[in-house]
Amino acid sequence: MTESNDIPKESPRTILFQFVIFPLGIVVIAVGVFFLFGRLASNEASIPSYLSDIRGGSDHRKFQAAYELSKSIKRGEAKQYPNLGPELVSIYRGAKDDDPRIRQYLALVMGKIGDRRVTPALIEALQEPLVETRIYALAALAELRDPRSVPAVIAATRDQEKDVRKTAFFTLGELGDPRAVPVLVGALDDQTADVRFNAALALSRFNDKRALPVLREMLDRSRLDRVAGMRPDQKDDALSAAISAWARLAGVEGAAELKPIAENDPSMRVRSVAKSALSQF
């Protein structure tokens, strides 16, 4: 089968999860993927028509319908369709032979509807062979915050792929379930920098000061410069996230680490975050 030029070529793993993941960033970038391959249809349609297109349209139309469906959900229209969750699960499970990126985006849509009836399908997806599919399922579970997913997400922290592991640690932070704490603590010694960074940020959400040594590492821009493949904007994101977590856990005693950043960091945004954190003491 000839691949359509309308399908984005960049790996979702590259697009979405090169470093620390934030739910809003996932949605914004995922939506941006669609604009990379052309202007989308703007005609108004109903959620049932979008579902029909996802079931039986071309790959291009399926992407369009999934995007339009996400907009409908954002507008609150999903409330009119109480069985949308089970319908999406049926489509998701039936799309195994489609372009996998369609199914991966459907996972994000399922995460956005807030219907925890989709949780079992997303847990099943954590066993899929494609790394990207597992990543997208974890991202959706992070949105749903369903306690039933905690054991499966903990299992995903032992995945052989570091991109899956770091997404799983992020998801545990979003779930906020105390069962995750021992797993997060154990990951602070992970040899892969962005895995332990995600684990530390997630652990900080439990107000656990055992995250502080890794957060201190993240405050050192020279350490971030040694992380292979990390872009300048990702370094700024890492520093900003670490500053906020550090300030919350270390309190006024951690001000000494933030002052040099507030005064000398090359990024105006990072300096602003550090100054804001210091102003809280």
Count CB neighbours of 99 within 10 A. Answer: 17
Q: Are residues 30 and 148 in the same domain?
A: yes
Q: Are residues 10 and 49 in the same domain?
A: yes
Mean predicted confidence (pLDDT) in 153-163: 96
CA 5, distance to chain mean position in Å, is: 26
Percent over 90 (pLDDT), the chain: 64
pLDDT for residue 97: 83
Q: Which residue has the higher pLDDT, 119 or 108?
A: 119
Q: Which of 45-54, 62-71, 81-90 has the lowest mean pLDDT?
A: 62-71
pLDDT for residue 16: 41
Structural domain count, the chain: 2
pLDDT for residue 8: 33
Asked if residues 91 and 106 have their Cβ atoms less than 8 Å apart, the reply is yes
pLDDT bin (cut points 50, 70, 90) of residue 72 is confident
User: Does residue 81 sit in helix, strand or coil?
Assistant: coil
Q: Are residues 170 and 34 in the same domain?
A: yes
pLDDT > 70? residue 40: no
Mean predicted confidence (pLDDT) in 145-171: 96
Burial class (CB in 10 A: 0-12, 13-18, 19+), 59: middle
Q: Are residues 46 and 140 in the same domain?
A: yes
pLDDT for residue 44: 55
Q: Are residues 5 and 89 in the same domain?
A: yes
Q: Which residue has the higher pLDDT, 251 or 21?
A: 251
Q: Are residues 92 and 217 in the same domain?
A: no
Overall pTM surpassing 0.85 (yes/no)? no
Q: Are residues 176 and 245 in the same domain?
A: no
Question: What is the maximal distance between C-alpha atoms in the chain?
Answer: 61
Residue 226: give the domain boundaries.
207-281
pLDDT digits (tens, 9 = 90+) for 189-236: 999 998 999 999 999 999 999 999 999 999 999 999 998 888 899 899
Mean predicted confidence (pLDDT) in 183-193: 95
Q: Are residues 43 and 161 in the same domain?
A: yes
Residue 186 falls within a domain, yes or no?
A: no
Asked if residues 112 and 73 have their Cβ atoms less than 8 Å apart, the reply is yes
Which helix (H) or strand (E) covers residue 100, if one does? helix 100-113
Residue 269 falls within a domain, yes or no?
A: yes
Mean predicted confidence (pLDDT) in 163-167: 93
Place of tokens 């370094």: 235
pLDDT bin (cut points 50, 70, 90) of residue 18 is very low
Give me the chain's average pLDDT, please: 85
Give the number of C-alpha atoms closer than 13 A to the C-alpha of residue 4, restricted to the C-beta side: 14
Residue 201 falls within a domain, yes or no?
A: no
Q: Are residues 176 and 46 in the same domain?
A: yes
Buried b (16+ CB within 10 A) or exposed e, 2-40: eeeeeeeeeebbebbbbbbbebeebbeebbebbeebeee
**Residue of 177, 238, 187 whose CA lies nearest to 210:** 187
pLDDT > 80? residue 52: yes
CA distance 108 to 194: 22
Residue 156 falls within a domain, yes or no?
A: yes
Residue 62 falls within a domain, yes or no?
A: yes
Residue 199 falls within a domain, yes or no?
A: no
pLDDT > 90? residue 133: yes
Of 128, 147, 181, the last residue of a domain is 181
CA distance 237 to 137: 23
CA distance 185 to 170: 13
